[in-house]
Structure 1
Amino acid sequence: MLPLLLALLMPTDTRAQHDTEAPVFAAPAEAPADSVRHPGESRRRRKAKRRAPPEIDDASQPDVPLVSQPDPVRGVHVTGWAAGSPKFRSRMIRDLKDAGLNAVVIALKEYDGKVFVRGVPLAREIGACANAIPDLPACVADFRRAGIRAIGRIVLFKDNILARKRTEWAVKTPNGDVWRNERGIAWVDPYRRETWDYNLAIASRAAAAGFDEIQFDYVRFPSDGNTRLCRYSRADHSPKTAVANIREFLVQARRSLDPFGARISICLFGMTSSAQGDMGIGQSIAELAEEVDAVYPMMYPSHYRKGELGVKNPNREPFRIIRRSVRDAVLRLGPNAGKLRPYFQDFSLGVRYDAEKVRAQLLAAQRFGVTSWVLWNPKNKYTWSALRHNNRFVWEEPTPSTAAAPAANVIPEGPPGRSGSALVPFPSLTGRDSPARRDDRAPAQDSPKADVKENP
């Protein structure tokens, strides 16, 4: 079990409070709360308090240089079924323009294996095609004419259709059967070049239709279910070979899409910003960032466990958890920090997310100069009012000259593995303790809660 991954959000993946005018940070307690026994307190309550992670003040931040993003990308994600409707597109374009946004991410291939791009023979052969977007070039053209960047999102290796129809390309069990996660979903083997070719054929058709950028999701190895039984076509599968394989895929993607002038980007677990190693899934944010134009960690407060990254309740404290996650991402990415475009939460999961909570995430990222991001809502319903603050757009707010807190407020960092200011040595996030087991996340994007159906 992940040894008490203290307070992080998740991903991305994804949902104490941030004051509307300015963040308020609690001062560190002089004595740990669990060191005091109150009269009449039950043994169960005392035990729960001992298990609770210590609060770590936001002031325990290292000096982090501000990120430079001279050409920020700010947008929302929409489902393929919604994007296929001219009426929806017209309304969405109006909303995006009114909100000051300049990008839209459109689902082109989903986690169930359905493909919304025409002209890929294998997709037709295996029954993966769905007529969600009848005229893809027209769809892209509508957004681009309005000055909105069109980004196509393609799910890679979580592909139940391809794995069932081409079982020789699937992740296997030790006895040679197709491996399935706890929900009965099969994955294709990320080492198999045939799976690369299939997805890059889809990506190339999308780029030919005019997309400015192709965003790869589920660009990783399985995490949920009994992953100890996973067998791949490479006998020497290891964290090193897994990351190298993903990097090699991205290099090949670049070669395939360069002729179309399309950029490439990837979605990652939110915890890759703070975790050391590949988390057992082949995702190392620093290494993979070398091969792409943008990285999208899915930083959803609802996807972080209580106590992760030293935040008592991430879902209720979006400013604090995002501030820490973005800080870690900036530190981890180093010279590639300008490529950072987090996915932020604009949906409710366990806690109602209103304009204040959505805005808190944007303001937290802006503390580090990060003004590129995408909002995620599985039903395509966005809190546009969250994008304005003090009668101006959030990104027009003054940015501090430094993201670091005053030295006088610094307190010691948390215990190892919890993190106040240091990157966290997370163990492998596979099997029983994978993020995908944390509750079922918001629909259809990679991260802890990805198997909910999308709504048009």
Structure 2
Amino acid sequence: MRHLLLAATLALALPPALAIDGVVYSQAGHGAIAGATVTSGGASTQTDAAGHFHLPAAGPSVAVRAPGYARRQLPYAGDGAALRLELAPFQAKALYLSSYGIGSDALREAALALVKQTELNALVIDVKSDRGMIPYASTIALAERIGAQKVRTVKDMPALVAQLHQRNIYLIARIVVFKDDPLANARPDLALKNRQGQLWRDGEDLSWVDPTRQEVWQYNLDIAEEAARLGFDEIQFDYVRFPDAPGAQYAQPSTQASRVDAISGFLGAARARLAPYNVFVAADIFGYVLWNTDDTAIGQQLERLAESLDYICPMLYPSGFKWGIPNYRNPLEHPYDIVYRSLQRARQRTGLDGARFRPWLQDFSDYAFDHRPFGAAEVQAQIDGAAAAQASGWMLWNPRNRYSSGGLQCEGNDCAAPAQRAE
């Protein structure tokens, strides 16, 4: 009883936590920013249509972010004064580096040279790869137990993140979620099965885990939170879907409703888990998801995805549009229109600003039609399509991590003549 009375007395002696109010503005003079996320003292809220926000209590700092702007964190005096927070416009223009690419001196330095010479300002880095590997020394015990730490290509990820940030590079942590061969093999109870009760495998002979299982969610959210603590600016979930091939058996009946609930539920849980870190949350989706009103049989339904994401990242590779789009039956001949019209379709369906979308663009030879190379003209056409649709930048994908300056705008004194694109 004495301890309870003492605690009550101390609580009464402490000053009440002051509420925090303010407005978030664009540094570029575009007025107040609606829908910005403001975080302080472990709580977060979003600004209203006039850019205003209110938090019931404040911590020692205030963090704020909004799609199309650079995130920001600043100390808070705690005096209850209204805040005027300004954000600088920012569009990520990125290259992808796999877990091997970021660990290779040659591939990494070639990418960094392009960042220095051109309009590029960001990198997408595998934090959990297509094969389920985490390329640095993770503190997550399950990663070690299932063999996801067998191949470590980055000796010191915190130091690397710090070095890249010193170069003003925006860093995106790519996490492959439900395609997870190590976890499926170590925990068959979490894995997808075939009709014979054996592990289901995709066309690459890799196993997947069940998107409806909470233990699978927890593991991937642990990885996402670790990436946020490491200092990444954005967490990007890939393979956040059901397999696009038949034959897999799930823990519960696979219906459109159950699939959409699983994928949207995971992304909602990710947003809640990452809220204290002021990192952007993104997900990669199939290009046809922008055109299909159902879930494309993989759990990705556009309007539901938008509920939990800062950035929606459709893979708008012309080679991925096997059946074309309306009025464009040969996508390879129309890279600009594939990107522009797909993004316009997404904006019309969702009512979202273009800043909520950042597409993946094709920087590799065609694999679906005539196997033509994609050169500077095709890359530039896709970039122009994204810009015309007012997307928040773009990301170039080459699975071999070999890029050139072809199709990119040269900047600064280090500009080099456009080089032939590597395939």
Q: So what's the TM-score if we normalise by structure 1?
A: 0.66
Question: Amino acid of the residue matched to residue 172 of structure 1?
Answer: K
Matches within 5 A, 1:171-190: 171-190=192-211
Matches within 5 A, 1:139-178: 139-178=160-199
Larger radius of gyration: 2
Residue 384 of structure 1 aligns to a residue in which SS? coil
2:251 is the counterpart of 1:233: yes
- How far apart, CA to CA, are the structure 2 residues paired with 1:160 and 1:372? 32
Residue 310 of structure 1 aligns to a residue in which SS? coil
- How far apart, CA to CA, are the structure 1 residues paired with 2:161 and 2:382? 29
Q: Percent identity?
A: 37
Q: From 115, 121, 128, give the equivalent of 2:148.
A: 128
2:359 is the counterpart of 1:339: no
Shift of 1:90: 4.5
Shift of 1:172: 2.2
2:247 is the counterpart of 1:223: no
Which whole-Å deviations, capped at 9, do the CAs of 1:136-191 have from their partners, x for residues lacking one?
A: 11121121111111101010001112111100001123443322234432210000
Q: Which moved more, 1:98-107 or 1:113-122?
A: 113-122
2:129 is the counterpart of 1:95: no
**Structure 2 unpaired stretches of 5+:** 1-66, 70-88, 413-422
Residue of structure 2 in register with 1:417 after alignment: none
Q: From 117, 126, 148, give the equivalent of 1:107.
A: 126
Distance 1:354 1:256, change over 3 A: same
Matches within 5 A, 1:5-404: 70-85=89-104, 88-117=107-136, 118-129=138-149, 130-224=151-245, 227=246, 229-235=247-253, 237-305=254-322, 307-349=324-366, 350-388=371-409
Shift of 1:377: 1.2
CA contact 1:306–1:312 (8 Å) conserved in 2:
yes
Q: Which moved more, 1:196-205 or 1:85-94?
A: 85-94
CA contact 2:176–2:238 (8 Å) conserved in 1:
yes
Shift of 1:112: 1.7
Residue 71 of structure 1 aligns to a residue in which SS? coil
CA contact 2:68–2:91 (8 Å) conserved in 1:
no
Which whole-Å deviations, capped at 9, do the CAs of 1:324-366 have from their partners, x for residues lacking one?
A: 2222122223125421000001111211111111000111222
Shift of 1:382: 2.0
- How far apart, CA to CA, are the structure 1 residues paired with 2:191 and 2:301? 23
Question: Amino acid of the residue matched to residue 389 of structure 2?
Answer: F
Which whole-Å deviations, capped at 9, do the CAs of 1:11-63 have from their partners, x for residues lacking one?
A: xxxxxxxxxxxxxxxxxxxxxxxxxxxxxxxxxxxxxxxxxxxxxxxxxxxxx
- How far apart, CA to CA, are the structure 2 residues paired with 1:193 and 1:81? 29
CA contact 1:309–1:324 (8 Å) conserved in 2:
no
Which whole-Å deviations, capped at 9, do the CAs of 1:343-395 have from their partners, x for residues lacking one?
A: 00111121111111100011122222225111111222223231239x9xxxx
Shift of 1:230: 2.4
Which whole-Å deviations, capped at 9, do the CAs of 1:401-440 have from their partners, x for residues lacking one?
A: xxxxxxxxxxxxxxxxxxxxxxxxxxxxxxxxxxxxxxxx
Distance 1:162 1:243, change over 3 A: same
Question: Amino acid of the residue matched to residue 119 of structure 1?
Answer: T
Residue 206 of structure 2 aligns to a residue in which SS? coil
Question: Amino acid of the residue matched to residue 127 of structure 1?
Answer: G
CA contact 2:354–2:390 (8 Å) conserved in 1:
no
Residue of structure 1 in register with 2:13 after alignment: none
CA contact 1:354–1:383 (8 Å) conserved in 2:
no
Residue of structure 2 in register with 1:394 after alignment: none
CA contact 1:362–1:371 (8 Å) conserved in 2:
no
Residue 396 of structure 2 aligns to a residue in which SS? strand
Which whole-Å deviations, capped at 9, do the CAs of 1:92-147 have from their partners, x for residues lacking one?
A: 33321321222110011122222224222111111111211111111211211111
Shift of 1:260: 2.6
Residue of structure 2 in register with 1:22 after alignment: none
Question: Amino acid of the residue matched to residue 93 of structure 1?
Answer: L
Distance 1:183 1:98, change over 3 A: closer
Residue 326 of structure 2 aligns to a residue in which SS? helix
Question: Amino acid of the residue matched to residue 317 of structure 1?
Answer: H
Residue 120 of structure 2 aligns to a residue in which SS? coil
Shift of 1:87: 6.1
CA contact 1:106–1:151 (8 Å) conserved in 2:
yes
- How far apart, CA to CA, are the structure 2 residues paired with 1:300 and 1:135? 33
Instruction: Say what the alpha-carbon RMSD is for the aligned residues.
Output: 2.4
Provide the aligned length of Structure 1 versus Structure 2. Answer: 322
Residue 324 of structure 1 aligns to a residue in which SS? helix
- How far apart, CA to CA, are the structure 2 residues paired with 1:306 and 1:341? 23
**Structure 1 unpaired stretches of 5+:** 1-66, 392-454
Question: Amino acid of the residue matched to residue 335 of structure 1?
Answer: L
Residue 347 of structure 1 aligns to a residue in which SS? coil
